[in-house]
Amino acid sequence: MDFITTIANNIDNFIWGLPMIIILIGTHLYMTVRTKGVQRRILTGIKLSVTKDPDGDGEISPFQALTTALASTIGTGNIIGVGTAIALGGAGAVLWCWLTGVFGIATKYAESLIALKYRVKTTDGKTLGGAMYVIERALKPKIGGKKRSMKWLALLFALFAVIASFGIGCGVQANAISNVLDNAFNPDLTLELGFINSEKSGGAAFEGYGKIYENGKWRDFDGTDGKVYLKNTQDINAPRIYYTVDGKWKGAAMSESEDAQDVFFAEIPTNAENIMFKEKGISLVALIAGIITAVCIGLVIFGGIGAISKVCELLVPFMAVMYAIGCIIILFFNRDVLLETLRVIVTSAFSVKSFGGGIMGSGIMMAARYGVARGLFSNESGMGSAPIVASAAQSRNAVRQALISATGTFWDTVVVCLMTGLVIVSSCLKNPNISAETIEGGRLTSAAFEQIPVIGTPILVVGIVLFAFSTILGWSYYGESCIEYLFGKRGILPYKLIFVFILVIAPITALDLVWTLSNIFNALMSLPNIIAIFALAPLITRETSYYLYGRRLDEYDRTPIPVVDK
């Protein structure tokens, strides 16, 4: 299994490295040219997003379609992922992430336009769309003098999207929710079943730092470096160290040493009294969080797109505003270094080589790689996910809703990711204790929010939980739509049951291989979608020129939507 996991990780790193960067950035630039810089009309899209279009075909309002799409894109990556990109690529990664969002607006516009142009209706009036319907209806190349069906490519897109929805859109998010709550309510790890069910009387006396515990005895190992070591001769899975302070048990996770095989270490207080080592167990907090998440999600998704869109319509603006307020407070605290923050971000983005490492930069190649990758992964432009829900929107023509959908990339990357980046970089400059060299990338945002007295950490915790929860809602609809395309209505109930089941087990199960494979399929689903975008580029240009630049956004497209038997 380790061999398969290694192969999957290598494939994942390769696909989400240079290949996907070239493909997606190339598409962003190409569609920017073909749409004559549709980004210039983003304010029009924002205005239309809050304008109802009740006479247009579709099931949900344009704003509900936008917030449902934003629910899936504004996720934990906007908080944790940006910090990781900065830690690996330096401050310059923020600019590259931002630029990726700016150019990605054109691709989000293009893929949404063709999705609405080729959407269908079922016999019971349900509106369906997405890359799978675009490919099946519009892509019929002539081979050998005959038009050939590309439905096989549409089936692949739907299959890839379903697999991705179980991982990136479900399990990973459930893990994020349980982890943040576990860190908040179980910091001492004493609510793990492995500890709760263990005999507490067998703790060995603490004999000082630099000692290693092996076969029931202490021996000198590495001086007095402030750490305690374990020689894992019993092959304990993810060892925890538990100890008493004033008679009260506390615990900490142990890290594996890079210099010695099967050796783990941890830091404990100087007044620790008893020590025992246990295997990582199921956290009661994580288990309860998984069950509650599954129940709440189940209550919504079994109501269909109507229920999902109504929840997202309320949830997304609330969570975005709450997180933005937290960011603004921190930026106010750091106002004296904001100009320096912008200078560092820009100069680091184009620095030929690192000048100091960490937050100051890792060179243009590293900054571009991690900044672009975070931007691409965050806004999902080109992946074909958001157009699925855009197809259900009430809209009088495809260009109108496509322009609204394009604002999703603007809010996700150009605004939210940028705010996170400014918060982290300014905090690192303002406070020497917050450093990308000493704090793990995923923890940088947490360290920045801790600057806000009392409410800082709660704002971030609630933000991460709501961001992850909304992502689950959005991806559940993407997966449901693709399942319906593959198997018809009979596949929807089994899909939803499996989806909810994964929400329960994901927080308490180690499924690293499954998540890696899901990440791979998340990239693979973009390939059929991008093929459709390039093939239909002339249509996109023509529709954009007529409706957008011809000032006909209020005109109705009277082309009948075909009815299919699903």
DSSP-derived secondary structure for 299-317: HHHTTHHHHHHHHHHHHHH
Q: Mark whether 199 and 108 lie in a shared domain.
A: no
Q: H helices within 257-385, ranges in order?
A: 284-301, 304-333, 338-349, 364-379
Q: Mark whether 464 and 531 lie in a shared domain.
A: yes
Q: Mark whether 346 and 432 lie in a shared domain.
A: yes
Query: The CATH number of the domain where 125 resides is what?
Result: 1.10.4160
Cite the beta strand spans of 95-239 per DSSP E.
120-122, 127-128, 142-143, 146-147, 204-205, 211-214, 217-220, 228-231
* pLDDT tens over the chain, length 566 residues: 567 778 888 888 888 777 888 888 999 999 999 999 999 999 999 999 988 877 777 788 889 989 988 888 887 778 877 887 887 788 888 898 899 999 999 999 999 999 999 999 988 888 999 999 999 999 988 777 788 889 999 999 999 999 999 988 888 888 888 888 888 888 888 888 878 888 776 678 888 888 888 888 888 887 657 788 988 888 888 889 899 988 889 998 888 887 788 899 988 888 888 888 888 888 899 999 999 999 999 999 998 888 898 999 999 999 989 999 999 999 999 999 999 999 999 888 887 654 334 444 456 667 777 777 777 777 888 999 999 999 999 999 999 999 999 999 999 888 998 999 999 899 888 887 776 666 666 677 888 888 888 788 888 888 889 989 999 999 999 999 999 999 999 999 999 999 999 999 888 876 667 667 777 888 899 999 999 999 999 999 999 999 999 999 999 988 888 988 76
| Pairing relationship of beta strands 240-245 and 248-253 according to DSSP bridges | antiparallel
Q: Mark whether 178 and 200 lie in a shared domain.
A: no
Element (H, E) at 541: helix 537-543
- Assigned domain for 151 exists: no
Q: Mark whether 217 and 165 lie in a shared domain.
A: no
- Closest of 180, 171, 170 to residue 472, by C-alpha: 170
Identify any residues that bridge with 274 across adjacent strands, giving them in sequence order: 205
Q: Mark whether 237 and 104 lie in a shared domain.
A: no
Distance in angstroms between the alpha carbons of the first and the last residue of the chain? 39
d(C-alpha 509, C-alpha 227), whole Å: 29
DSSP for 37-86 reads -GGGGHHHHHHHHTS--TTSBSSB-HHHHHHHHHHHHSSGGGTHHHHHHH
Q: Mark whether 55 and 98 lie in a shared domain.
A: yes
- Assigned domain for 149 exists: no
- Assigned domain for 499 exists: yes
- Structural tokens at position 212: 């290693």
Please say which residue of 282, 316, 348 terminates a domain: 282
- Assigned domain for 11 exists: no
Q: Mark whether 273 and 355 lie in a shared domain.
A: no
- Assigned domain for 314 exists: yes
- Assigned domain for 1 exists: no
Please say which residue of 258, 282, 306 terminates a domain: 282
d(C-alpha 347, C-alpha 345), whole Å: 6
Total domains, the chain:
2
Q: Mark whether 231 and 370 lie in a shared domain.
A: no
Please say which residue of 249, 282, 315 terminates a domain: 282
Compute how many other C-beta atoms are within 10 angstroms of the C-beta atom of residue 217.
Answer: 10
- Assigned domain for 153 exists: no
Q: Mark whether 327 and 472 lie in a shared domain.
A: yes
Domain span holding position 329: 16-140+160-186+288-556
Q: Mark whether 178 and 33 lie in a shared domain.
A: yes
- Assigned domain for 353 exists: yes
d(C-alpha 186, C-alpha 50), whole Å: 42
36 burial (CB, 10 Å; 0-12 / 13-18 / 19+) is: middle
d(C-alpha 512, C-alpha 172), whole Å: 10
Q: Mark whether 217 and 353 lie in a shared domain.
A: no
